[in-house]
Every structure is written in structure tokens, then in C-alpha cells.
């Protein structure tokens, strides 16, 4: 594995609304300035964040992706001390005209730690096996240990 890219998945409703907003913006751009606003809203809805690693050249970048185009500045990968896999909660707020609800999901995160407490977020998933599979791949490339922090008692793998 020379390159590794992780991008969050967009919910289907964001894909639909973002595409509609961009389409409406393109059609209305010729008649008013509001077309630019609609295009901006569409781009915001379709924006995906993630990380990209190039282990061959020892570089990484935090990416923002829109319609398949990745943007971000490449930086050298620092001296990674260990790979950490842990569970956390991800809260999404859903709002409607007069109501609001918070939906909480358990998510597994994979971070690369360096300089004692600084981290690079490398991967998120809802599947613990997939997280450990990626952690083992990355740890073997970087020749570092894995910290399993998915349970109350942390352990080194």
C-alpha cells in the first residue's frame, strides 16, 4: 500500500440537495446573482473531508474533496510513535422548523500520534474489524505499535 485515502461518506440527502442546488445555480446564474449563492450552497453540501497518505514519498495531507477533485497541501509525515484505534461517539443534530433532535452513533477512529500528544486523523469507520485491518496495514508500513483503546483497559498490540 503506497497510497491511502480516507474520505467521509456523504449522506444521500446531501448528494441530492447539493446536486439540485448546483443545477439551479447554474441555470439561474444567467438571470441573477442568486445563482452564485445556490452554487455555493451546493458546493458546501457536497464537500467531503478526509486524509490522504503517500507512504512512498513520506507525505500526507488533509483533503477537502468536491466532485472528485481533492484539495490540500502536502506535508512531510512526522516521526509517528504509534497508531491508536479508539471508540467515540459522533453526534449529528437534525433540525426542522420547530423541532431538533440529536442522533448519536458509536464510531471507531484511527489516529497516528507523534510528538507525544499530537495526532493525524487517518480513518473513521463504524466497523471495528475494518479499523484494525487498516491500523495493521499502516503500522506495518511505519514500523510502529498499535494502541487498542476501544475498551476501558487500553492495550498494546
Per domain, the residue ranges of the chain are 1-77, 78-157
User: What CA–CA distance (Å, rounded) separates 80 from 38?
Assistant: 42
User: What CA–CA distance (Å, rounded) separates 85 from 1?
Assistant: 19
Bridge partners of 122? Answer: none
Q: What backbone phi and psi angles, to 5 degrees, belong to 150?
A: -85, -20
The pTM is what?
0.74
User: What CA–CA distance (Å, rounded) separates 82 from 143?
Assistant: 9
User: What CA–CA distance (Å, rounded) separates 85 from 94?
Assistant: 28
Tell me the per-residue pLDDT of 78-136, one tens digit each, with 9 for 90 and over: 999 999 999 988 877 777 777 788 878 888 999 999 988 899 988 888 889 999 999 99
Tell me the per-residue pLDDT of 23-63, one tens digit each, with 9 for 90 and over: 988 988 888 778 888 888 899 989 988 889 998 899 999 99
User: What CA–CA distance (Å, rounded) separates 148 from 101?
Assistant: 32
Task: Reply yes or no on whether the pLDDT at 75 is more than 90.
Answer: yes
Q: What nine digits make up the cell of 125?
A: 469507520
Amino acid at each position: 500500500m503506497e497510497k491511502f485515502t480516507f474520505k467521509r461518506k456523504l449522506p444521500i440527502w446531501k448528494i441530492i440537495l447539493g446536486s439540485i442546488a448546483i443545477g439551479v445555480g447554474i441555470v439561474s446564474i444567467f438571470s441573477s446573482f442568486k445563482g452564485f449563492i445556490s452554487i455555493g450552497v451546493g458546493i458546501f453540501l457536497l464537500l467531503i473531508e478526509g486524509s490522504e497518505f503517500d507512504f512512498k514519498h513520506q507525505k500526507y495531507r488533509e483533503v477537502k474533496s468536491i466532485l472528485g477533485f481533492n484539495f490540500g497541501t502536502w506535508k512531510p509525515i512526522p516521526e509517528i510513535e504509534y497508531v491508536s484505534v479508539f471508540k467515540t461517539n459522533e453526534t449529528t443534530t437534525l433540525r426542522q422548523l420547530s423541532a431538533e433532535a440529536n442522533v448519536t452513533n458509536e464510531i471507531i477512529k484511527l489516529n497516528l500520534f507523534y510528538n507525544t500528544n499530537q495526532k493525524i486523523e487517518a480513518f473513521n469507520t463504524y466497523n471495528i474489524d475494518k479499523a484494525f485491518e487498516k491500523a495493521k496495514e499502516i503500522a506495518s508500513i511505519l514500523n510502529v505499535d498499535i494502541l487498542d483503546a476501544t475498551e476501558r483497559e487500553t492495550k498494546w498490540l
